[in-house]
Amino acid sequence: MTTTLSPTASLSFGVELNPQPLPPAERGAILANPGFGKRFTDHMALATWRHGEGWSDARVTSYGPLQLDPASAVLHYAQEIFEGLKAYRHADGSVWTFRPEANAERFQRSARRLALPELATPDFVESLRALVGVDKAWVPEPGETGEKSLYLRPFMFASEGFLGVRPAQEVTYCLIASPAGAYFAGGVKPVSLWISTDYARAGSGGTGAAKCGGNYASSLAGQLEGAEHGCDQAVFLDSSTHTTIEELGGMNLFLVYKDGRLVTPELTGSILEGVTRSSVLQLASELGLRPEERRIPIQEWKDAAAAGELAEVFACGTAAVITPVGELKWEGGSVDHRGPGHVDEVAMRIRSTLLDIQYGRTEDTRGWLTRLV
Ligand SMILES: *Cc1c(COP(=O)(O)O)cnc(C)c1O
């Protein structure tokens, strides 16, 4: 057993090395063409929380199936939260991550909403350091696309085997890691959106602002409906009036006006506060844009697109970074803000600004990067 511990972390992740790591040649083949979320590194981090005792048994161990009691509360009552961030290899071989404190704090907010225990920020960051330290060979070089990374997926769930309905008294924290290629294998291409009016992903007082699996489960029917209408993604509206834009199933949304306004739905309690969203808002003014957070009627999008006032629309999130949006469709209609020769100039400029910071290709003036290895 070897141990690493940063000075402020209270959990120490002991390391039990995988006796059968993937041979380097096979790992190399995966890193050459990683896709997204299909292959995982040789190890995972785990910790257990028990009511009255707190966190213990923190360790890095071989990646593999978990043993779960069939009565585990998560399988019945969906008491689960997760996070998503990435590890980036810089030109000098060092490995960094982007604003992990923001993810740690969101994980704590999600935990409070789902009645799960909080994991302190230093312990959250320590788990990333411990796993990426052991699996550093799995962090790809950025490659030709300049955007390969190691996707990190922390999650926490009710592992207590008990069918009574109350917050679980035994909870598991787990961190897994998956090499990720450019999200759009054939280059960035705009997605079409379906306005979901029959389904909402979240409602007032619900869990929309928490990053929990249940929100994704409830977004799938809307996604399917969109796919049946030939759309790539669904855009969800507020659940009470069905008139204002909230977000996609897993990405926040921005409208770019020709007059330089960069508008995104304000945080209403049912929208997930993306780290990418927050970073875009902070970068906006230095890119010559005027950020606005407010309620956006879906009618405003339709009207602005038809009137030629809308320059671009894009979605954002850690996995795909910035994704331009093209056509907007709904039951009985559609609109497309893109004229002939359209280029998503603003979306692509924000995209490369973010990627350049993340991969250390430009100076990190905001202290957004944390070194992991
Ligand atoms: C994770 C997530 C996002 C994007 O958040 P980032 O921190 O930018 O990755 C947006 N919407 C939903 C519903 C999400 O779960």
Note the pLDDT tens digit of each residue in 295-340.
Answer: 999 999 999 999 999 999 999 999 999 999 999 999 999 999 999 9
pTM of the predicted model as reported, rounded to 2 decimal places: 0.96
Query: Which pLDDT belongs to residue 145?
Result: 86
Domains assigned to the chain: 14-185 (3.30.470.10), 191-358 (3.20.10.10)
Return d(Cα 131, Cα 134) in angstroms, integer. 5
Residue closest to 296 by CA, chosen among 268, 334, 260? 268
Residue closest to 288 by CA, chosen among 315, 260, 322, 313? 260
What number does the ligand 1 atom closest to the CA of 211 have?
A: 15
What number does the ligand 1 atom closest to the CA of 83 have?
A: 1
Residue 80 has which token pair?
């689960």
pLDDT at 4 over 60: no
Return mean pLDDT, the chain.
96
Residue nearest atom 14 in ligand 1 by C-alpha distance: 250
Q: Which of 183, 211, 216, 316 to mutate to test the pocket of ligand 1 (most atoms within 8 A of CB)?
A: 211
Ligand 1, pocket residues at CB < 6 Å: 84, 211, 215, 247, 250-252, 272, 274-277, 317-318
Phi, psi of 196 (to 5 degrees): -85, 115
Please enumerate in sequence order all residues whose Cβ is within 8 A of that of 80, keeping only pairs 6 or more positions apart, or say none.
74, 114, 155, 156, 157, 158, 212, 213, 214
Query: Which pLDDT belongs to residue 360?
Result: 98
Would you call 366 exposed, middle or buried from its count of C-beta atoms within 10 A (0-12, 13-18, 19+)? exposed
Q: How far is the CA of 52 from the centre of ligand 1 (A)?
A: 32
Three-state DSSP at 263 gives: strand
How far apart are the two ends of the chain, measured CA to CA in Å?
19
Contact 168, 162 (CB under 8 A): yes
Helix (H) or strand (E) holding 259: none
Contact 208, 235 (CB under 8 A): no
State the greatest distance between any 2 C-alpha atoms of the chain, in Å, as a whole number: 65
Residue closest to 372 by CA, chosen among 204, 191, 175? 175
Q: Which of 272, 275, 355 to mutate to test the pocket of ligand 1 (most atoms within 8 A of CB)?
A: 272
Query: Which pLDDT belongs to residue 2?
Result: 46
Please enumerate in sequence order all residues whose Cβ is within 8 A of that of 221, keeping only pairs 6 or more positions apart, or say none.
199
Tokens 């991550």 — which residue? 97
Residue 4 has which token pair?
């690493």
Please enumerate in sequence order all residues whose Cβ is within 8 A of that of 345, keeping only pairs 6 or more positions apart, or say none.
312
Q: How far is the CA of 170 from the centre of ligand 1 (A)?
A: 27
pLDDT digits (tens, 9 = 90+) for 87-124: 999 999 999 999 999 999 999 999 999 999 999 999 99
Q: At what angle do helices 275-284 and 100-113 cross, to 10 degrees?
A: 130
pLDDT at 3 over 70: no
- pLDDT-derived band at 1, boundaries 50, 70, 90: very low
- pLDDT-derived band at 187, boundaries 50, 70, 90: confident
Query: Which pLDDT belongs to residue 6?
Result: 56
Task: Give the residue-averaged pLDDT of 56-64.
Answer: 98
Provide Rg for the chain, Cα atoms. Answer: 21
Residue type, 120: A
